[in-house]
Structure 1
């Protein structure tokens, strides 16, 4: 039998003698679930640290005496380093060994987290965050690749649901956890919290992950240093362009224009280089797989909608409703819990249902939620947002898990690492593009609505005149003289206009995100059925 024939490989080392594989090279027995939890734990740490910093930036700025532009690099540095490493994770895993590289990334990420928490000044903090991003990039893509290589196709749904819980819920858990730690213990603890979790993840990685095979005596391929350099320049410039563009008025800034030109030229040279050498640092040839090409494009759109919506809701809660960081986190927590529950349920049934149907239902459902959120008013409160955010968490999962299976499920086993890197990179870049677009759109629409509203507030408008009269009387009743009361009334009216303009602009943002998901539906025609039709790739 095939299983018996493969049994000679079951004892790979003394430390892993209980690891048993089937004929396809997939792990058998309860050990594989320990591998799933271990790999996912690393990914969860990386994803949470992408968003946990956002609610603490104001406190960090005050403590370290930084400007708004300077403090932004605490988040930007992490994001740039992260997207540079993700596509390199396949090559690094092959070069050093998958387990060795994953453990090394976990150790580096934990060390960098402690360094962030101990940072005495902004420069050290930014450097530490860059290190965090570099090590974290290896955790995200490698974790998903480990699961696809360890679990047979029939069990991928459940395995990927474990991974997906962290990736989907992480952006919501981050602000919740970050708000609580910042308000109660101080901002340094958003980094120190990674130490105990990281140590557990390191120990589990060393114990449970399948060992690297012994090195085969063969001529070592030369390192593609030019490819790595061009990747760092092109992807790093593109990410910096997206992160810093809005703060620098986009192409009004020579710095942003230079980043855009450098990113485009570097990307063209990078693609040319990687397609014309024998041993590229990033194997672009895996894009020949139709499921990966279409799935990565859809993953970018999913990232735009997923991270865009999670970006807009906290801004609305804190900027318009006046929520604290902790209150904002509490607002997002039920949606994160809904994502986790639906992810687990979906993991058991995704292999039996056409992935395109689930993705379509998720896109339509998320659009409906976004259009519902667009009905916000000045009286909108926590109760009004509870169910829409819960449904957003649930419907997003309908896209994420089936898309992962439809995109990566048909990929041959030897190409999984490279394919996983592309897939995760597209989602990360999609999120950055979405946030950049929404930030600019929010600013433009708020200015537009302010202009429209102010145009209606004239001394000749009866309603405006009456409102101003009432407000003036109110301030006079509180002890102000007629002149001061009139000025206070004008200021109060301006504040009402600003609030209304902000609400209308957020409504526009929610409608825009809803339209993005509706417009993505035609891409389903290019995807496969996913788990319903996936076949086990040949053993290699």
Structure 2
């Protein structure tokens, strides 16, 4: 009797009347949830710098090794919208711990993989478990902290989500160059064990799950979701390589994704117990915020995709050097995130998002001014400012999108919100990859038009290069051939730089075009009245 009374008293001291956690325990929960999210986000990008080494070790082709990334991404986006239902069915704490354990074990299997199929299957398992970490972590924080403290709580979460895509290549570069590619997976083991222990100790005990478990499982909805999201993600990952809809495979994926999406929406709206609660989109802040989230994902992942390619293909940086180039921007994101967490409760979220969008757009236009002579110094401050301005969009957008939702809709809303950001990133990378290739071919054709055999400047440059090579002991014929190769290389470099400038401008314009969506968001401040649901 006395033991039960004591536990009851402790529970009352640790929670408010609204069910929010009080005292130091809430910060332990925040760090626990955020650690799980960081593990998932970093593993989204850490493998990119190791693909060449993996290809050489396992004897795979370029297209085959790409499935190490594609398999993870597909599994990840399929699980994110299901995370709310899985949390209700198995219990939020149980499901989060299960995801952590599965993610850690899958990481070990990835590191031990002796052939490509084993690595791809392990990455799919890792993506399935990781998909449950990101959305659940954010939902746990919204359900743990009262509105007045959401800014700081989401800042802790946001540090990992924003900085993770930059930390991944940096950490990956050091591990690949120093220890080998397998250690980009083995490094998850100590942090995964720590996260499991923390989650077991600090996360609130699951409430009664019998109600959810007594409901019929929406197998049709889950199946249609897998078809829709799986085919869409595969199409985005493989589209550029297969020349998009000129490929029957890509066309089939596109048709299946549209059909699957239509059937999924129809199923979820007619069933009494949907796997994904789409009715949560009746909240205006969530529907508008999710659309903005997709654009933020395009900008966040798209530019972080473009800059490393530019650094390695044009500036000829190593993986470690590329990681170090991105590191100051990640640090700027973390610093601004913490500072903004304290200010977000007193400043209108829409104003902060607008500042972030305009500032990021300005940085994109600044990056578009790159030249063949651009180096680390020219990229340092634009990337630092990009890291800072992105935070001005990410944190207030999370608060303005999810903050106004009723507590019982937070979990479903968080899953949908995180899904749109992940898909936005995939769409952004696919679009920018295609645009980069098409614009590079366009600029190369224009530049070659000016390199006519009858052009005086072209012949002068050719004679100058040929003479310089002959002065080093090369015969005339070989010198002429080498001079032509050098001019071709210069043309390729210039075309690449012009195409990178084009995609930076496109991202900048996209952020400016997103500003009208702010009219549909709430203020996101503590105590602000939630937007009406429609």
Which residue of 2 is the match for residue 472 of structure 1? 466
> Conserved in 2, the CA contact under 8 Å of 1:292 and 1:419?
yes
Equivalence map 1:251-400=2 (5 Å)? 251-400=245-394
Which residue of 1 is the match for residue 183 of structure 2? 189
Which residue of 2 is the match for residue 445 of structure 1? 439
2:18 counterpart of 1:24:
yes
Which residue of 2 is the match for residue 238 of structure 1? 232
Which residue of 1 is the match for residue 492 of structure 2? 498
Which residue of 2 is the match for residue 3 of structure 1? none
1:314-356 CA distances to partner (integer Å, 9 max, x unpaired)?
0000010000000000000000000000000000000100000
Equivalence map 1:90-169=2 (5 Å)? 90-169=84-163
1:35-77 CA distances to partner (integer Å, 9 max, x unpaired)?
0000000000000000001010010000000011100000000
Equivalent of residue 49 in structure 1, options 39, 43, 50: 43
CA distance in 1, matches of 2:212, 2:386: 51
> Conserved in 2, the CA contact under 8 Å of 1:109 and 1:131?
yes
Equivalence map 1:12-91=2 (5 Å)? 20-91=14-85
CA distance in 1, matches of 2:146, 2:401: 16
1:227-252 CA distances to partner (integer Å, 9 max, x unpaired)?
11111111000000101000110001
CA offset at residue 374 of structure 1?
A: 0.5
> Conserved in 2, the CA contact under 8 Å of 1:153 and 1:535?
no
State the SS of the aligned residue for 1:212.
Answer: coil
Equivalent of residue 459 in structure 1, options 431, 435, 453: 453
Structure 1 residues 487 and 111: CA distance shift in structure 2, 3 A: same
CA distance in 2, matches of 1:281, 1:255: 29
State the SS of the aligned residue for 1:364.
Answer: helix
CA offset at residue 486 of structure 1?
A: 0.4
> Conserved in 2, the CA contact under 8 Å of 1:78 and 1:132?
yes
> Conserved in 2, the CA contact under 8 Å of 1:405 and 1:530?
yes
- The farther-off stretch of 471-480 and 142-151 is 471-480
CA offset at residue 112 of structure 1?
A: 0.2
CA offset at residue 10 of structure 1?
A: 8.9
Which residue of 2 is the match for residue 5 of structure 1? none
Equivalent of residue 244 in structure 2, options 235, 245, 250: 250
CA offset at residue 531 of structure 1?
A: 1.8
CA distance in 1, matches of 2:514, 2:449: 37
TM-score (norm 2): 0.97
CA offset at residue 11 of structure 1?
A: 3.4
2:361 counterpart of 1:406:
no
CA distance in 2, matches of 1:453, 1:341: 43
CA distance in 1, matches of 2:501, 2:154: 34
> Conserved in 2, the CA contact under 8 Å of 1:10 and 1:19?
no
Structure 1 residues 217 and 62: CA distance shift in structure 2, 3 A: closer
CA offset at residue 12 of structure 1?
A: 6.5
> Conserved in 2, the CA contact under 8 Å of 1:355 and 1:532?
no
Structure 1 residues 285 and 73: CA distance shift in structure 2, 3 A: same
Q: How many residues were matched structurally?
A: 528
> Conserved in 1, the CA contact under 8 Å of 2:77 and 2:423?
yes
CA distance in 2, matches of 1:521, 1:536: 20
Equivalent of residue 172 in structure 1, options 153, 161, 166: 166
State the SS of the aligned residue for 2:344.
Answer: helix
TM-score (norm 1): 0.96
Which residue of 2 is the match for residue 11 of structure 1? 7
CA distance in 2, matches of 1:17, 1:399: 36
CA distance in 1, matches of 2:210, 2:227: 33
> Conserved in 2, the CA contact under 8 Å of 1:230 and 1:266?
yes
CA distance in 2, matches of 1:534, 1:313: 39
CA distance in 1, matches of 2:399, 2:235: 31
